[in-house]
Amino acid sequence: MACLAIPLSEARADEPLEVTFDGDNIHVAAPGLHFLTGKPLERLKNAATVAFVSQITLFSDEGKTIFRRPVAERLIVSYSLWEEKFSVTIRGADSTRTTPRLLTAQQAESWCIENLAISSLGLAPERPFWLRFELRAADQKDLGSLLSDTGISLGTLIEIVARRRGADLPSWRRDAGPLRLKDLPRMFSVRGRIG
Amino acid sequence: MRYVWLGCLLFGGLLFGGTQDSEFNVNTRYTVENVVVSGDGWTADVGAGGGNDERISSGLRKDIAALIGEKLNPTVLDEMAKRLRKEFHARTVEQRVLRGKSPDYVLVVFDVKLRPTRFDVSVPKFLYNGKQGWSGAVEGTATLRQNGFTLGLVSDGDELVERYAGIVARYDNTRLGTDRAHFRFAFESYHEQWNGSTTAQVQATQAGPVTGQEMPGPLNTGFTETSGIYRTRRNFEPEVTFVLAKPLTLSVGTSFQRFQDQFPAAQTESANALITTLRYHRRLEDSDNQQDLDAGYNLRAATRLLGTDFVYARHRWEFRYMLTHGKSVVIDDLTSGMITGRAPLFERFVLGNSSTLRGWNKYELDPIGGNRMVHNTVEYRYGVFQIFYDSGAIWDDGEAAVLRHSAGVGLRQGNFSLAVAFPIREGHIDPIFMVGMNY
């Protein structure tokens, strides 16, 4: 399948995005995208659960007019301390999917992205479109820590608000296009029709 | 109204800010082998008997020890970390989970990081009451070892018959030679605002006894037993607290209050009082229930020895019992007070605010407060939901006490509360909405 994938233009990427079509949904693959690294990996190796939020957006022109509103999906990752492998659960609007077994970091990353898709409903095969794939570590603002016996601590509030978005939350973005459904490599469906 | 929605949004965010992601954590299959709590130069190995470490409260120690032998539950670990953070007033509590000595067992480490910075700004009170409007306070505290220096701003229209707004400054020493003695010196300077009904009642009583029914409250006793309206008020209050026995504390101090009368202008009066407070707190725990018992007695005795213009004794008794069983909490809070002699308006008791006879308007009950008061609150909470029933009476010596009741429902999470309360009476019922924290 990888050899059928077409290289695409990109706005901000290290590796090109691979886009495929299963007849109902559009899928992406980003072999060069490694998000189980850095601080999220540190937290995972401390037995914590780390959540990522992903979304795929379709544009009818080059990133200006949204053709299909994105649906965010939550990727919940944890790391087995004893088996040293990863487990992922994807919580979407319509379903929850979990890895059937524990995976290596690379396998887990691939599984996550392969299981993300957006419906092609209403998109004519000939119509050009642009696609944006975004992934970011979910914010974990600790609102509970604001409260103390002496009331609400503004120091803590400032500390939380002052955390610049993205300063300690890694995020990734890949753009592709123009694309047409009829040009996309076909793949077998890994999930039912969306939407 | 938009502030109400803002309050609701903030409250909702706090209620539902948590996540259920941890239920998908693969490590929940492992068993907790041991728990270690470490801090600045100390370590408590709970599994090896360090669970008796006196630094951690008995209830929390017990709950931490209960983790051992159970499957790892990240949500419970987060909860324990929050409780440790609160108990130690720590900046953060980092939790680490490591492989245990045996396969499929894990070791949990809580690392308590105390605040390296010694300055914080806090909001000790924040409240919106549908009848009394906004009340709030903001304080900045700098801490140097056991010394705390606080400067704050306050505007409170809820607690007393007056709305007082101004500054507070405080020095706290939490270790006056020994851990069993604390010292505090507080300075307060306020400008006063008065409700029209309070002003009218004071003026009416100044003019002499009135028997008409056009004014609410007891019109024939007020002014002779209290002060007139004042425009400013200042207070200097040194106080030492002794821990007599572990659950029993005694505070002794003095309060030097000076206030400038509205009429005649520029006349200053004083109310200088000795203060004594005796407090008792006891927590009893068994496997299912937790019981908290608080009792207190406060005496403010203004005597000629301190050069006061007002001579009085103000007694206040408090008793509070709280039973916690799982998510259910039952609270009974009984307060009563009595003033003998002639006390200024700020010393008089008030009911019908955001903590007593909720739903009633304090200015309808008694615009200048009373020198006798009794109040009881029964409250039931289940999770974040709360219902309460208040009953109480406020009157002046020589009058008949009228018992009044109110009831309400609301949401409570930590110090935050949102409630609607109704006075129980015949005729038109106007509910009062309250939202805020620490009230």
Q: Where are the domains of chain A?
A: 2-183
Q: Which of A115, A112, A120 is nearest to A136 (CA)?
A: A112
- Where is the domain boundary, B113, B141, B173? B113
Q: What residue numbers bound the domain in which B28 lies?
A: 23-113
- High-pLDDT (> 90) share of chain A, %: 7
Q: Do residues B69 and B169 both lie within one domain?
A: no
| Confidence band for B214, pLDDT divided at 50, 70 and 90 | very low
Q: What is the pLDDT of residue B218?
A: 39
Residues B140-174: b if buried by 16+ CB within 10 A, e if exposed = ebebeeeebebebebbbbbbbbbbbebebebebbe
Chain A hits for B106, Cβ within 8 Å: 47, 81
Residue B66 sits in the same domain as residue B137:
no
- Evaluate the omega torsion of the peptide bond into residue A178 and state whether it is cis, within 30 degrees of 0: yes
Among residues B63, B85, B113, the one where a domain terminates is B113
Inter-axis angle of helices B58-65 and B74-88, nearest 10: 160
Question: Cα–Cα distance between B231 and B165 in angstroms, integer?
Answer: 11
Instruction: Indicate the residue among B68, B96, B113 that finishes a domain.
Output: B113
Q: Is residue B10 part of a domain?
A: no
Distance CA A25, CA A190 (A): 10
Greatest extent of chain B over all pairs of C-alpha atoms, in Å: 86
Number of other CB atoms surrounding residue B131 within 10 Å = 19
Tell me: pLDDT of B31 over 70: yes
B274 within a domain of the structure (yes/no): yes
Residues B200, B191: Cα–Cα separation, whole Å: 19
Would the ipTM clear 0.85, i.e. be above it? Answer: no
Question: Are B104 and B157 in a shared domain?
Answer: no
In chain B, the number of structural domains is: 2
Residue in B22, B103, B437 nearest the CB of A49: B22
CATH at residue B46: 3.10.20.310
CATH of the domain at B239: 2.40.160.50
Task: State whether B48 and B167 are in the same domain.
Answer: no
Same domain, B374 and B348: yes
Residue B313 to residues B86, B300, B344, B349, B350, Cα–Cα distance (Å): 37, 6, 11, 13, 17
Question: Which parts of chain A have pLDDT scores under 50?
Answer: 1-13
Tokens of A95: 């379903």
Beta strand segments in A6-116, E: 18-21, 25-29, 50-59, 66-68, 73-79, 86-91, 96-98
Rounded Cα distance, B221 and B205, in Å = 7
Q: What is the average pLDDT score of chain B?
A: 85
In terms of domains, do B314 and B256 share one?
yes
Instruction: Tell me which of B16, B19, B21 to substitute to probe the interface with A (most A C-beta atoms closer than 10 Å).
Output: B21
State the Cα–Cα distance between residues B325 and B101, nearest whole angstrom. Answer: 36
Residue in A14, A7, A99, A17 with CA at minimum distance from that of residue A57: A17
Beta bridge partners of B276: B252, B299
Q: What ranges make up the beta strands (E) of chain A? A: 18-21, 25-29, 50-59, 66-68, 73-79, 86-91, 96-98, 117-119, 129-137, 147-148, 151-153, 171-179
Which residues lie below 8 Å from residue B71, measured CB to CB, with a gap of 6+? B28, B29, B30, B31, B32
What confidence score (pLDDT) does residue B43 get?
Answer: 83
Q: What is the mean pLDDT of residues B175-201?
A: 90
pLDDT in the model for residue B56: 79
**What is the rounded distance in angstroms from the CA atom of residue B375 to the CA atom of residue B351?**
8
The answer, yes or no, to whether residue B392 has pLDDT greater than 80, is yes
Query: Model-level pTM?
Result: 0.60
The tens digit of pLDDT for each residue in A2-33 reads 333 433 333 344 567 888 888 888 888 887 88
If interface means Cβ-Cβ distance under 8 Å, which residues of chain B face chain A? 13-14, 17-19, 21-22, 24-27, 30, 72, 74, 82, 85-86, 89, 95-99, 103-104, 106, 117, 119-126, 137-139, 414-416, 437-438
- Of residues B250, B241, B269, the one with CA closest to residue B185: B241
Residues B217 and B131 in one domain: yes
pLDDT tens, B101-141?
Answer: 989 999 999 998 876 556 778 888 999 998 889 999 999 98
Count contacts between A and B (CB, < 8 Å).
Answer: 101
Considering the domain architecture, whether residues B61 and B173 belong to the same structural domain is answered as no
B354 and B430 together in one domain: yes
Are B109 and B128 in the same domain?
no
Residues B74 and B210 in one domain: no
Cβ count within 10 A of residue B15: 17
Residue matched to tokens 């002699």: B341
**For residue B417, pLDDT beyond 60:** yes
Residue B188 sits in the same domain as residue B170: yes
B333 neighbors B292 (Cβ within 8 angstroms): no
A82 three-class SS: coil
Beta-bridged to residue B233, according to DSSP, are B190, B259
Neighbours of A57 (CB within 10 A): 18
Instruction: Please state the rounded mean pLDDT for residues B172-180.
Output: 81
